[in-house]
Amino acid sequence: MVLTAAALLGLLLGSFVTMLSWRLPRGESLGSVHSHCPACDHDLGPRDLVPLFSWLFQRGRCRYCGAGIARRYPAIEAVMAVLALLVAWRFGLTWAGLVVLGLAVVLLAEAVIDFEHGIIPDALQFVAVGLGLVWLALNGAWLIGLAGAACGLGIGLVLRYGFRALRGRHGLGLGDVKFLGVAGLWLGPALLPAYFVVAGLAGVALGLVWRRLSPGPTFPFGPALAAALLALVLWPA
């Protein structure tokens, strides 16, 4: 029963992530603009907005203009449902589970935006920091978290500017550097070595996918950083 509810909640949150990841990098309002078809701009009704199932029943097309609906929508909703199941299985109905679920929403949105636009919005980083502070309060680990944030930021800055000194270009974007600070806040300094290993492995795997899709010359590392952080929050090394 709990897992079923988690999956349904995950689908709803996935729909929110699709909206967030589309509007935020484009500077569109998150609340005052009705959901609409990107092709014909027709406002979407309730039957058009049922996560995953609307896309399936309408065979991936807008019922007003017949334009194809990108597969990103059902894919993101399905991924979020899986993440919600994992969080519920790991933490159950607890405050910690609720906070980690919020983190999963933020991380998925950041991964999608970085994958599609090559940026990690500061607004989402701030939300992740806020959730991280709640996480530290629940676990009574303020000093560990703050030390981890300092270590993560420090390592990120060294990688960014050290790579520039050696190769003439930045090794990491500023968004990635800030993300390492967020990861340190959540994980603490002791888990940072494992985090970099997991992020590196995830980066290799995602890089192979990126090369096959060939959407651009620069591989965004944000999705790998996000996947590694959620993995270690769910299953600390």
- 14: in domain: yes
Confidence of residue 102 (pLDDT cuts 50, 70, 90): very high
Task: Pick the last residue of a domain from 81, 105, 129.
Answer: 81
Mean pLDDT, residues 116-140 taken together: 94
User: Residue 59: what residue type?
Assistant: R
Residue 138 sits in the same domain as residue 223 = yes
Higher pLDDT, 47 or 185: 185
Three-class SS of residue 225? helix
- 54: in domain: yes
Residue 121 sits in the same domain as residue 205 = yes
Higher pLDDT, 208 or 106: 106
Q: Which residues of 177-213 are buried (b: 16+ CB within 10 A; e: fewer)?
A: bbbbbbbbbbbbbebbeebbebbeebbeebeeebeee
- As given in the structure block, the two tokens for residue 103 are 């983190």
- As given in the structure block, the two tokens for residue 237 are 């090394």
Residue 109 sits in the same domain as residue 17 = no
Mean pLDDT, residues 7-30 taken together: 88
Identify whether the C-beta of residue 87 lies closer than 8 Å to the C-beta of residue 100.
yes
Does 138 score more than 80 pLDDT?
Answer: yes
Range of the domain at 209: 94-237
- 142: in domain: yes
Higher pLDDT, 69 or 26: 26
Mean pLDDT, residues 2-9 taken together: 88
Q: How many domains does the chain have?
A: 2
Does 162 score more than 80 pLDDT?
Answer: no
Least confident piece of the model among 62-76, 91-105, 210-224? 210-224
Question: What is the pTM assigned to this prediction?
Answer: 0.90
Residue 163 sits in the same domain as residue 194 = yes
Rounded to the nearest 5 degrees, what angle is found at the Cα of 111, between the Cα atoms of 86 and 184? 75
Does 45 score more than 70 pLDDT?
Answer: no
Mean pLDDT, residues 118-134 taken together: 94
Task: Pick the last residue of a domain from 54, 81, 108.
Answer: 81
Give the residue among 80, 73, 79 at the shortest CA–CA distance from 38: 73
Residue 213 sits in the same domain as residue 125 = yes
Residue 130 sits in the same domain as residue 212 = yes
Task: Please list the alpha-helical segments (H only) found in the chain.
Answer: 2-23, 53-57, 72-91, 95-117, 122-139, 142-167, 174-187, 192-213, 222-234
**What is the pLDDT, as a whole number, of residue 58?**
78
Identify whether the C-beta of residue 8 lies closer than 8 Å to the C-beta of residue 62.
no
Q: Compute the distance between CA of residue 70 and CA of residue 201 in angstroms, rounded to an integer.
A: 29
Mean pLDDT, residues 166-193 taken together: 86
Mean pLDDT of the chain: 86
**What is the pLDDT, as a whole number, of residue 128?**
97
**What is the pLDDT, as a whole number, of residue 118?**
86
- 72: in domain: yes
The sign one gets for the Cα dihedral 128, 175, 115, 57 is positive
- 23: in domain: yes
Mean pLDDT, residues 27-38 taken together: 69
Percent of the chain past pLDDT 70, that is, above it, reads 85
- 173: in domain: yes
- 88: in domain: no
- 86: in domain: no
**What is the pLDDT, as a whole number, of residue 165?**
57
**What is the pLDDT, as a whole number, of residue 68?**
74
Task: Pick the last residue of a domain from 34, 51, 81.
Answer: 81
